[in-house]
Amino acid sequence: MNKDSDYFVIITILLQTLLVITINTEIIVVENLDYLKQAIPFINLIILIMCVISLISVKNIGKHRVYRTKALMMKNHLKQVEELIRTLQVERHENSKHLQAIQSLMGLGRFDEAIEYLDSITEGVIPQYEMCYIDHPALSALLNSKKAAAEKNGIEVNISLHSELANLNIPSRDICSIVGNLVDNAVEAASEADKPRVDIEFLQDHDSYIIDVYNNGAAMPCGVDVFQAGFSTKMSEYRGYGLYVVNKLLVKHKGQIDINTDDDTRIRIRLPHKVQRY
């Protein structure tokens, strides 16, 4: 769809250029321009219509690009969740086999061997990541998948929960998009640090939920509009839409965002509690 729009704009501009060249050629070659003078109003109307169509198409291209970027980011989120589910399924399969072996040993009365087998499993085993649990299943799954993916690449991710999200009045897709984009940006920035680290903290006060996302990578540049669509310190067509999407969603849900960039970067967002009606 987006490629078709690109081609349509190019063809429209080429037709406008061809029309202007044709008129100029006629003016140079033809001596009697009476018929051309009569046709000028219609020609101007055609050019005006083509210009309007081009402007509308260009605007639509921008919208399609944003939608396509959102779709790619959502696809990435879903891929990470699928990887997490696959990992858990493998671990469950392995654990079930160990449990069956231990059960068999205990059923035969060989308790010492069962204890030895259990010790051999647990000895030196360190979980690859700690699961975090919050009362928001979609966001919990997203955070765990992001954490697992980041730590697989050597990036430490710490999640601190000092608040539940029971009264968060925002659709799951929107809160996941907000947090997912912030975490993605933080992980990417931290990946360039010597000891990459990302901290995610959930807090709340009397009227707002607070989500802090910190990374120890390079600080964001000052004096630029980081919420502008397409802005990025990385050169890529699909970069630079994360904070743009986050800001749009926060405006939609009456939230706030604050960016503190000294040596590191800490982004704090505030989301209102659901209004309680009595």
Domain that holds residue 257: 134-272
Is residue 91 included in any domain, yes or no? no
Q: Considering its fold, how many domains does the chain have in total?
A: 2
Q: Point out the least confidently predicted range of 6-10, 49-53, 185-189.
A: 6-10
Is residue 116 included in any domain, yes or no? no
Instruction: Tell me the CA distances in angstroms from 231 to 8, 162, 174, 224, 226, one per residue in order.
Output: 26, 33, 21, 9, 6
6 in Cβ contact with 64 (< 8 Å): no
pLDDT for res 167 = 77
Q: Looking at the structure, tell me whether residues 45 and 153 fall in a common domain.
A: no
Is residue 110 included in any domain, yes or no? no
How much is the average pLDDT of 25-47?
74
Is residue 234 included in any domain, yes or no? yes
Higher pLDDT residue, 59 or 122? 59
143 in Cβ contact with 200 (< 8 Å): yes
Q: Looking at the structure, tell me whether residues 67 and 150 fall in a common domain.
A: no
Final residue in a domain of this structure, among 27, 44, 71: 71
Final residue in a domain of this structure, among 23, 40, 71: 71
Higher pLDDT residue, 213 or 225? 213
Q: Point out the least confidently predicted range of 118-122, 132-136, 226-230.
A: 226-230
Is residue 105 included in any domain, yes or no? no
Is residue 202 included in any domain, yes or no? yes
Is residue 53 included in any domain, yes or no? yes
Amino acid sitting at position 227 = F
CATH of the domain at 153: 3.30.565.10
Residue 57 — pLDDT band, cuts 50, 70, 90?
Answer: confident
Final residue in a domain of this structure, among 71, 88, 106: 71
**Residue 231 pLDDT exceeds 80:** no
Is residue 174 included in any domain, yes or no? yes
User: In this prediction, what percent of the chain has a pLDDT beyond 70?
Assistant: 73
Q: Name the token pair of 115.
A: 């204890």
**Residue 4 pLDDT exceeds 70:** no
Output the CA torsion sign for 56, 62, 64, 67. negative
pLDDT for res 273 = 82
Q: Looking at the structure, tell me whether residues 146 and 29 fall in a common domain.
A: no
pLDDT for res 21 = 78
Q: Looking at the structure, tell me whether residues 263 and 139 fall in a common domain.
A: yes
pLDDT for res 89 = 75
